[in-house]
Structure 1
Amino acid sequence: MSAERFEHHRREDGELLGWIEERGDGFVAIDRFGYARSDVTDWFEVESALDELGLSYLAERYEFLREDGTRLNVRIAEAREDSVVVKEDGGGAVGAPQIFYTLPIPVDRARLYLR
């Protein structure tokens, strides 16, 4: 896969919102999880899709399926350019261990999903 990909940053603060990927005669919006968030369309529509999406989905609560089949409640700790880091949601317990898992982009939808 050698599709050309361009970073798209929020105008107000320069935060990376996602990528604009060239596909055929158009472009597709790609979010920080590596998921397509638009159909193939023109550049303006793809920019608008990423601007409208923003980053609020990174603050949601998720469920993570570990390789051993264990399901964990997690939150997004960090969204990197090549991976997403999740941490176990200890429910605000003081002194709870901080356990992190790094997931490559695109994130496997079968392993990380909204609660």
Structure 2
Amino acid sequence: MIPASWIPHRRADGEVVGYLREAGDDFQPMDLLGRPLAEPGDWSAAEALLDEHSLAWLMDAFLLAVDGADERVRVTEVTPERVRVKRDDLGAIGGDARFWELPVPDGRLRPAPPLTEWPG
């Protein structure tokens, strides 16, 4: 669960795009999964980085270690308590729709490399 002491940062439309974590006299920008985006610094710089980072990265694929192997997944939902991911089916209709729920922050999701060829 995202700590209550972290300050939600909202973009102009009110959507939360990340958090500011106090670090002494500085603030560290944290993404929605609770991962640091940069070293602690001043408030304005941390806010600017969160605005720049925004939410587009949630559309990217991630790798999740499952039973000793990496599973390629996509984020379907993020709350301050959990992230829900789905096996990346590359847009297929039907098939094995497998989901996982992870606590936030967790640290088990890593960015997936781009696909260089169609899997299968």
Range into which the TM-score falls when normalised by the shorter chain:
0.7 to 0.9
Match of 2:109 in 1: 112
Q: Secondary structure at the match of 2:68?
A: coil
CA-based RMSD of the aligned residues comes to 1.6
Show the 5 A alignment for 1:31-70: 31-66=31-66, 68-70=67-69
Q: Which residue matches 2:116?
A: none
Aligned-partner Cα distance in 2 for 1:25–1:41: 8
Q: Deviations over 1:26-57 (max 9, x none)?
A: 11111011011121111111110100111111
- In the superposition, the TM-score normalised over structure 2's length comes to 0.83
> How is 1:92-111 mapped onto 2 (pairs within 5 angstroms)?
92-108=91-107, 111=108
Contact 1:9 1:15 in 2 (8 A): yes
Q: Greater CA deviation, 90-99 or 19-28?
A: 90-99
Aligned to 1:71: 70
2:19 is aligned to 19
Aligned length: 110
User: Shift of the alpha carbon at 1:3?
Assistant: 8.3
How far, CA to CA, are the matches of 1:87 and 1:47 in structure 2?
Answer: 30
TM-score by length of 1: 0.86
Spell out structure 1 runs of 4+ moving beyond 6 A: none
Q: State the distance in 2 between where 1:69 and 1:61 align.
A: 19
> Which structure 2 segments of 5+ residues have no match?
113-120
